Amino acid sequence: MGSQLISNIGQLITNSDEELGIITDAAIVIDGQQVLWVGSNKEAPAADSTIDANGGVVTPGFVDSHTHAVFAGDRSKDYVARMSGQKYATGGIKTTVAATRAATENDLISHTRELLRKCHSHGTTTVEIKSGYGLNVDAELKILKVAKTFTDETTFLGAHVIPAEYENDRAGYIELVKSEMLDAVVPYSKWIDVFCDNGAFSVDEAREILQSGIAKGLMGRIHGNQLGDTGGAELAIELNLASVDHATHVSNETIAALAESNVVTTFLPGAEFFTKSLYPKVNLFFELGAKVALATDCNPGSSYLTSMPIAMSLAIREMGFTPAQALYAATAGGAAALRRSDIGHLQPGARADLVIWQAPTFEHIAYRLGDIDKKILTTGKF
């Protein structure tokens, strides 16, 4: 493919700074793989072909840095229970584990493909996918093989919960995760993650598991502080993990420490929405300059959400994000949470992953829940 000029852009979001690096009356030139040039529409160089953006907005594709998109089975009963006031706990994961263990690799591939097609249709061009619904060697391996066919951002989450057959032998399960299971999945995993929370794994258990993965060359991230202020965020700082995800219950001291660290805090408002839980407030994170991302947490039990624009709308409505902060967190923030510098922005050299929105300003994305005509260009696998 030759070079392509996207001309007549009302607002081009480059993310060259945290104010979104907006260029008005802009144009962009890409070669199918990379951004070659950005600037004023009047100064645009010639290219082999042209797309007219009709005055619309061009943004980087969304970077959804937290999903559990490979699963089988139905958890709609959990949703009904949550909506009738039953509190969220970790136990429901076991229903998905049973169905996912029973599913064939082909079944999982076709289900995941459909789900990711949805994510993509909302403007997502990079997605992270975790395991964690297998919880034995064969099923965790099966999930990560499936995930790897769609993305390089694959995460081993063998330490999601303790499976039923190990209920009376936590130490035995943790040993399995750290040894045989880890060895099997390493070729298909980039990241290791632990659900460090009430009803899941303690800080000491999480440290031990994360360190064994890091020793095998994986990079670390953590589910922390969703159900209680239980130390996951502090562990993320201690181990210099890429991201602490959820962070619903975090002390002011820890927010200040996060702001001083390299750890990105990834907010998942879909989880609060679908479990009818209290949303975290993000004012202090922004005041202190902490790095922040937004993701869907796409999973069947606590956040069946594929739309990054809806995650943005919830974050603005319920958590105190401005529309600009939400867009930056959903693009550049997600990239930082995956320690990627080639995505989440549209400066020369970036991957040519972008969305052309038929709307006059970027605020329309959240304002209209993303329900806007759009064209999505991507270099990824889905």
Which residues contact residue 367 at a Cβ distance below 8 angstroms, ignoring those fewer than 6 apart?
313, 323
Taking CB under 5 A as the criterion, which residues in 297-336 touch Zn ion?
A: 297
Distance of alpha carbon 309 from alpha carbon 367, whole angstroms = 9
Among candidates 122, 14, 146, which has minimal Cα distance to 71? 146
Size of the site for Zn ion (CB under 5 A): 1
Instruction: Closer to Zn ion by CB, 34 or 277: give it.
Output: 277
Largest CA distance in the chain: 69
> 213 burial class (0-12, 13-18, 19+ CB within 10 angstroms)?
buried
**Range in contact with Zn ion (rule: CB under 5 A) among 1-9, 50-58, 292-300, 314-322:** 292-300
Which residues contact residue 221 at a Cβ distance below 8 angstroms, ignoring those fewer than 6 apart?
155, 191, 192, 193, 236, 241, 242, 243, 244, 245, 337
Instruction: Closer to Zn ion by CB, 38 or 268: give it.
Output: 268
Instruction: Closer to Zn ion by CB, 245 or 353: give it.
Output: 245
**Range in contact with Zn ion (rule: CB under 5 A) among 25-33, 87-95, 229-237, 290-298:** 290-298
Instruction: Closer to Zn ion by CB, 111 or 364: give it.
Output: 111
**Range in contact with Zn ion (rule: CB under 5 A) among 48-56, 168-176, 291-299, 349-357:** 291-299
- Residue 364 beta carbon to Zn ion: minimum distance, rounded to whole angstroms: 29
Instruction: Closer to Zn ion by CB, 27 or 200: give it.
Output: 200
- Residue 274 beta carbon to Zn ion: minimum distance, rounded to whole angstroms: 12
- Residue 195 beta carbon to Zn ion: minimum distance, rounded to whole angstroms: 7
| Residues in the chain, total | 382
- Residue 68 beta carbon to Zn ion: minimum distance, rounded to whole angstroms: 6
Among candidates 296, 227, 309, which has minimal Cα distance to 267? 296
Distance of alpha carbon 289 from alpha carbon 311, whole angstroms = 21
- Residue 303 beta carbon to Zn ion: minimum distance, rounded to whole angstroms: 8
Instruction: Closer to Zn ion by CB, 234 or 297: give it.
Output: 297
**Range in contact with Zn ion (rule: CB under 5 A) among 176-184, 234-242, 296-304, 333-341:** 296-304
Among candidates 84, 62, 301, which has minimal Cα distance to 195? 301
Taking CB under 5 A as the criterion, which residues in 270-289 touch Zn ion?
A: none
Determine contact, residues 344/332, Cβ cutoff 8 Å.
yes
Contact mark string toward Zn ion, 57..96, x via CB under 5 A: ----------------------------------------
Which residues contact residue 26 at a Cβ distance below 8 angstroms, ignoring those fewer than 6 apart?
9, 11, 12, 38, 39, 40, 41, 58
- Residue 252 beta carbon to Zn ion: minimum distance, rounded to whole angstroms: 24
Instruction: Closer to Zn ion by CB, 197 or 297: give it.
Output: 297
| Residues near Zn ion, by CB under 5 A | 297
